[in-house]
Chains A and B, each alone.
Chain A
């Protein structure tokens, strides 16, 4: 069965960086993209960006351009999201999600369990 398993919770100081991993299993990793979505405490869902596991192409949300980098390691079927220059408002649960792209429908069909990143001095 399809599974996305994320790395554990992180506590970081303002200005630091965090790198969250997402290990995929149960499907051909390079056949799908991975998106990252975050959710601040008590808030809604915010799309951060997408990476093609096939060729490494990326699209990032404009507000995070320059601070976020998404990569994949096809040898281990793992996706990574690195966020730099952390601020207190980056405190959130970060999710990875398998991304389906088809004609007329692009969506997230499987999600990781989430990784809580806390930014605090």
Chain B
């Protein structure tokens, strides 16, 4: 089973600053990686799929990169509404299953 790790667990950032979140897979997942944002009391929201494609309606300040085992989510200039928990997720073709990372909490510095 593929294990996903995320770092850091918590990232303290000032509004307007850049945030860089990392996600690592225990074995290659090619580009089959997605990123989600979750705010307290809300369902997760899809941000990025295919490692680097922004979902519909997602602002351009969110970008994803990477392939294989190392992935990055970058928020170029943090807005107040971006403070949340971010999860990466991979899909494995065989056995067919999804795995989430443990999450990175982005909070206000």
Contact = CB atoms under 8 A, between A and B. Distances in A.
25 contacts: A37-B44, A37-B100, A44-B87, A44-B100, A44-B102, A44-B103, A45-B36, A47-B99, A47-B100, A50-B96, A59-B97, A61-B97, A95-B43, A104-B30, A104-B50, A105-B49, A105-B53, A106-B32, A106-B91, A106-B98, A107-B46, A107-B89, A107-B91, A109-B46, A111-B45
B96 A59 contact: yes
Given A47-B89, A97-B44, A107-B91, 5 more contacts: A44-B87, A45-B87, A104-B30, A106-B32, A108-B46
Contacts of A50: 96, 98
Contacts of A111: 43-45
Contacts of B98: 35, 47, 50, 106
A105 B87 contact: no
Interface string A31-47: 00001010000001111
B55 interface: yes
Interface string A44-56: 1111001000000
B31 interface: yes
Interface of B: 30-32, 34, 36, 38, 43-46, 49-50, 53, 55, 87, 89, 91, 95-103
Nearest to B4: A44
A35 to B, nearest CB: 7
* A: interface residue count bin: 20 to 34
